[in-house]
Amino acid sequence: VSEPRTLAPPERRIAVVSGVERLGAYDLITTVDRYGPKHPRPGQFYMLSMAVGWGGRGDERPYLPRAFSYARARAETEGEGTALDFLLEAVGPGTERLSELAPNEQMALVGPLGVGFRPPVPGTRPLLVGGGIGAAPLLCWQDELEDAEVLLGFRSAAHAQAAALFAGEPRVVTDDGSVGRRALVTELLAAELDRDANATVYACGPPAMLEAVRVLCAERDVPAQLAMESGMACGFGACFGCVVPTRDGYVRLCVDGPVIDAAELDTALVAGAGH
Amino acid sequence: MEGDRSVELCGVRLRGPVLNGSGTFDAIAARRAFGDALIERFPFDGFVSKTITREPRQGNPPPRLWETPAGLINSIGLPNKGLEGFLQSDLPEIARILTAASQGSAGDAAIPLIVSVMGFSRDELAELVAAAGARDEVAMIELNISCPNVETGLVMGADPVETASAVERVRTETDKPLIVKLTPNAAAPAAVAQAAEGAGADAVSLVNTLKGMALHPQTGEPWLGAGTGGVSGPAVRAIALEQVASVASTVEIPVIGMGGISTGRHAADFLAAGASAVAVGTESFRDPAAARRIAAELEGITLPGSEPAPASTIV
């Protein structure tokens, strides 16, 4: 069975930022990739850094590139290349520097990397579950699937602005009740699966949310694919840093993930994720 | 076909002087990510495998990484399939990649395979050297001796006597060149290098990572799953350069220099300090093609005391 993976060129390359859109708590960065493949697979990621000015921030970092799932990719209407959208939130020295990007600035990228989402189990409906910035890889996946239901959870109204990027009307809850009900997205998922468990679940979000999704789906025998996160230095299997424990032992999220079949996991709580 | 940049190391011809540090590039995983383009544009002139142990190892519990100022702490813990698994599946696959990548190299130079091995006793190390050395695909063997000897409790590479005993024990197991990878955490790396040379090593490589740690920002507990790890990247370059210069002025055998090399200028510095070849490690994490860029930059730099480059290459 071939894996959902588009190969990357084996070098870091420069891409030019064409748009920066503020979306509440997030930034949507669009960059034009002239030398990479046109069709990355939903769930794949890129290692991002700046062409200049990378380093020398808080604690004299960042030093390593940062891994981001792409949110959407499309052919450039004017000129060559592929426009790649990335959703980011400034939470540390790397994301802070990237969030200061302005149009026409250069960034550096390697990718697309990893394996993406696999198709739904035949006869089941796709159910997309996003928590916070984990909504990003679900955007291109929703575009590709037909009639996927989308459930989203955010901390606040500022974060929930990212819901507007989805087609149709995703169902949204927030931690503070400022948009939609005050609830966890996993409560929406539980109700949805209790109504009709004939689904394939795709989830991306913080470790605690992924673990709740994993348990909910395991209890109901619902297949689930989790787009996971772990501290990563290289993105292409060189450093062996980004391992997560599976029933077959440790696997590297960058080459065997980031999308992992929930049935392979005893837990989705990865030590060190989110830092 | 590119120009001839080949060098000779311990009687083995390499297509150029830029290797990878052991454990910083997985050719098999990279092939999955990059496909045949990896073979067409292979980054290194000689390839060093991840360290192989006799038994399979899962490696250390995560988290395994921490970013430092201009560097990285890792505590990976040598995950590998074990000697048998390596010889059966990984070795032939790596060899196929290197053979294909060597096509088109100038002259008879190729991209030789250097297998890195670690044993927790001298006999275990000897078994690994004998088994790896018996394979035609293997050009040289690197001894990773930055581990404790379970018989004495001492880190082999931290002590000249331990190092000499280990090298003496394995020397008779193979005719292939033996490279001893030195740890910078020894009190006197040059004395360890001298002991290795005296016991029959054909080359030394340095530096391995420097011991380091990081604390969890909220709990104050050690961040890394294994408690401590090894620091690499530009943060260690000045220390590495001094150790390479010190070792190169002490031994007659070739020295492979590494530690934070990220430009051709850095590589030229290590060569000027007495190294015969260099290795790129952490910089490859930032750019899989870093070693090719460094090799190209190095070609444009004239080393002190060497023949000037042809006028056309002087900028």
Print pLDDT tens along chain A (275 aa): 579 999 999 999 999 999 999 999 999 999 999 999 999 999 999 999 998 888 888 778 899 999 999 999 998 777 789 999 999 999 989 999 999 999 999 999 999 999 999 999 999 999 999 999 999 999 999 999 988 999 999 999 999 999 999 999 999 999 999 999 999 999 999 999 999 999 999 999 999 999 999 999 999 999 999 999 999 999 999 999 999 999 999 999 999 999 999 999 999 998 876 55
3-state helix, strand, coil in chain B (%, to 5): 35, 20, 45
The tokens describing B19, both together, are 């290797």
Q: How far is A14 from chain B (nearest CA, A)?
A: 12
Closest CA to B91 of B116, B109, B110, B108: B116
Long-range contacts from A176-183, C-beta under 8 angstroms, 24+ separation: A179/A154, A183/A153
Distance CA A244, CA A145 (A): 28
Is 50 exceeded by the pLDDT of residue B314?
no
pLDDT confidence bin for B107, thresholds 50/70/90: low
Distance CA A47, CA A239 (A): 14
**Considering only alpha carbons, which residue of chain A is nearest residue B42?**
A10
Q: Where are the strands (E) in chain A, listed by range? A: 13-23, 26-33, 45-50, 66-69, 72-75, 82-88, 106-113, 125-131, 149-154, 171-174, 181-182, 199-204, 224-227, 243-246, 249-252, 259-261
Closest CA to B157 of B224, B207, B113: B207
Element (H, E) at B315: none
Q: Do A234 and B68 touch (CB under 8 A)?
A: no
Q: How far is B71 from chain A (nearest CA, A)?
A: 6
Q: Do B287 and A242 touch (CB under 8 A)?
A: no
Distance CA A47, CA B211 (A): 27
| Distance (Å) of CA B34 to CA A105, B295, B312 | 27, 20, 34
pLDDT confidence bin for B153, thresholds 50/70/90: confident
Distance CA A164, CA A139 (A): 11
Distance CA B15, CA B76 (A): 30
Is 80 exceeded by the pLDDT of residue B104?
no
Phi and psi torsions of B23, nearest 5°: 80, 10
What pairs with residue A258 in β-bridges?
A115
Is B300 an interface residue toward A (CB < 8 Å)? no
Between A108, A231, A240, which is nearest B63 by CB?
A: A231
Per-residue pLDDT at A273: 66
Distance CA B119, CA B55 (A): 10
Per-residue pLDDT at A57: 80
| Distance (Å) of CA A114 to CA A235, A252, B33, B288, B310 | 8, 10, 7, 15, 44
Q: Do A64 and B67 touch (CB under 8 A)?
A: yes
Mutation to test the B interface, candidates A7, A95, A110, A236, most B Cβ within 10 Å: A236
| Distance (Å) of CA A107 to CA A52, B30, B40, B255, B289 | 8, 23, 25, 37, 17
Per-residue pLDDT at B303: 72
CB < 8 Å to A242, chain B: 62, 64-65
pLDDT confidence bin for B110, thresholds 50/70/90: confident
Q: Do A241 and B65 touch (CB under 8 A)?
A: yes
Q: Do A64 and B34 touch (CB under 8 A)?
A: no
CB < 8 Å to B217, chain A: 275
The tokens describing B105, both together, are 């190299």
The Cα angle at residue B266 between residues B264 and B269, in degrees rounded to 5? 110
Residue pair B158/B212 in contact (Cβ under 8 Å)? The answer is no
Per-residue pLDDT at B126: 98
Q: Which residues 2-31 in chain B show a CB within 8 A of chain A? A: 23-26, 28-30
Amino acid sitting at position A49:
S
Mutation to test the A interface, candidates B24, B116, B287, most A Cβ within 10 Å: B287
Q: How far is A73 from chain B (nearest CA, A)?
A: 19
**Considering only alpha carbons, which residue of chain B is nearest residue A235?**
B285
Phi and psi torsions of B212, nearest 5°: -155, 175
DSSP for residue B89? I
The mean pLDDT of B183-193, rounded to a whole number, is 95
Q: How far is A141 from chain B (nearest CA, A)?
A: 21
Q: Do B65 and A55 touch (CB under 8 A)?
A: no
Distance CA A82, CA A85 (A): 10
Q: How far is A194 from chain B (nearest CA, A)?
A: 35
Residues of B that are catalytic: 147
10 Å CB burial of residue B107 (0-12, 13-18, 19+) is: exposed
CB < 8 Å to B61, chain A: 271
Per-residue pLDDT at B312: 42
Is B65 an interface residue toward A (CB < 8 Å)? yes
Is 80 exceeded by the pLDDT of residue B311?
no
CB < 8 Å to A249, chain B: 58
Q: Do B62 and A255 touch (CB under 8 A)?
A: no
pLDDT digits (tens, 9 = 90+) for B210-234: 999 999 999 999 999 999 999 999 9
The tokens describing B38, both together, are 């990896």
Q: How far is A140 from chain B (nearest CA, A)?
A: 21
CB < 8 Å to B234, chain A: 63
Exposure of B253 in the CB half-sphere (CA atoms within 13 A): 21
Q: Which residues 166-205 in chain B show a CB within 8 A of chain A? A: none
Residue with tokens 């619902």: A222
Q: Which three-class secondary structure state does DSSP give residue A85?
A: strand
The fraction of chain B above a pLDDT of 90, given in percent, is 87
Per-residue pLDDT at A107: 96
Distance CA B309, CA A156 (A): 63
**Chain A with chain B: Cβ pairs closer than 8 A:** 140
CB < 8 Å to A11, chain B: 41, 287-289, 292
Position with higher pLDDT, B51 vs B313: B51
